[in-house]
Chain A
Amino acid sequence: MSIKLELQNVTYYYGKGTAFEVKALDNVSFAVKERSITGLIGHTGSGKSTLAQLFNGLEKPTEGKVLLDGADIWDKKYKGGRLCFRVGLVMQYPEYQLFEETVFNDIAFGPRNKGMSEDEVKQLVMDAVSFVGMTPEILEQSPFDLSGGQKRRVAIAGIMAMQPEVLVLDEPAAGLDPAGRADIFAGIKRYRDTTGASVIIISHSMEDMAEYCDDVIVMHKGKVMLTGPKDSVFADSDKLVAAGLDIPQITRVMRLLKENGLDVDASVCTKDQAVAELIRAFKLK
Chain B
Amino acid sequence: MAEFIEIKNLHFSYGKEESKQQDDVLCGVDLTVRKGEYVAILGRNGSGKSTLAKLLNLVIDDLENASGEILVDGVNILSDDMTEDMAFELRKKVGMVFQNPDNQLVATVVEEDVAFGPENLGLDPKEIRRRVDEALDTVGMSEFAKREPHRLSGGQKQRVAIAGVIAMMPDCIIFDESTAMLDPVGRKDIVATMEKLNREHGITVLTITHYMEEAVRADRVVVLNHGKIAIEGTPEQVFSDAGALRAAGLELPQCAQLIEELIKSGMSIKECGITPEDCARIILLAGGATCQ
Contacts and interface: CB of A to CB of B under 8 A. Distances in A.
B258 A275 contact: yes
A225 B255 CA distance: 27
Nearest to B254: A249
A281 B254 contact: no
Classify chain A: how many residues form its interface, as a range: 35 or more
A43 B187 CA distance: 12
A282 B290 contact: yes
Among A179, A207, A272, max chain B CB count under 10 A is at: A179
Interface string A203-230: 0110100000000000000000000000
B231 to A, nearest CB: 15
A51 interface: no
A256 B276 contact: yes
Among B45, B253, B265, max chain A CB count under 10 A is at: B45
Interface string B178-214: 0011011110000000000000000000000010000
Contacts of A180: 44-45
B250 interface: yes
B273 to A, nearest CB: 9
A260 B284 contact: yes
B280 A253 contact: yes
Classify chain B: how many residues form its interface, as a range: 35 or more
Nearest to B42: A177
A51 B255 CA distance: 32
A249 B267 contact: no
A253 B284 contact: no
B152 to A, nearest CB: 12
Interface in B261-291: 261-262, 265-267, 276-277, 279-280, 283-284, 287, 290-291
Nearest to A176: B45
A246 interface: yes
Contact of B258 (A178, A250, A284): A250
Given A249-B255, A253-B276, A275-B261, A178 B283 contact: no
A257 interface: yes
Nearest to B46: A147
B290 A178 contact: no
B265 A285 contact: yes
Interface in A31-60: 43-45
A271 B99 CA distance: 31
Interface string A233-265: 000000000000010111011001100101000
Interface string B37-53: 00000001110000000
Nearest to B188: A246
A84 interface: no
Contacts of B284: 257, 260, 262
A22 interface: no
Q: Could you tell me the dominant secondary structure of chain A's interface residues?
A: helix
B257 interface: yes
Contacts of A249: 253-255, 276
B261 A253 contact: no
A174 B277 CA distance: 26
Contact of A178 (B46, B184, B251, B280): B251
A196 interface: no
A49 B291 CA distance: 49
A272 B181 CA distance: 29
B183 A204 contact: yes
B209 to A, nearest CB: 10
A204 B45 contact: no
Contacts of B280: 253, 256-257, 260
B108 interface: no
Contacts of B266: 284-285
A67 interface: no
Contacts of A252: 276
A149 interface: yes
B237 interface: no
A28 interface: no
Given A249-B276, A256-B280, A175 B180 contact: yes
Contacts of B283: 253, 257, 278
Interface in B242-261: 249-251, 253-255, 257-258, 261
A249 B258 CA distance: 10
Given A175-B181, A178-B44, A180-B45, A282 B267 contact: yes
B153 interface: yes
27 contacts: A43-B183, A44-B185, A45-B153, A147-B45, A147-B46, A148-B45, A174-B180, A175-B180, A177-B45, A177-B249, A178-B210, A179-B249, A180-B44, A246-B184, A249-B255, A253-B279, A253-B280, A253-B283, A256-B277, A256-B280, A257-B283, A260-B284, A275-B258, A275-B262, A279-B265, A283-B291, A284-B266
Shortest Cβ-Cβ A-B pairs, 7 listed: A256-B280, A252-B276, A178-B251, A177-B210, A175-B180, A177-B44, A249-B254
Given A174-B180, A177-B44, 10 more contacts: A174-B181, A180-B45, A204-B183, A205-B184, A250-B254, A250-B258, A253-B279, A275-B262, A284-B290, A285-B265
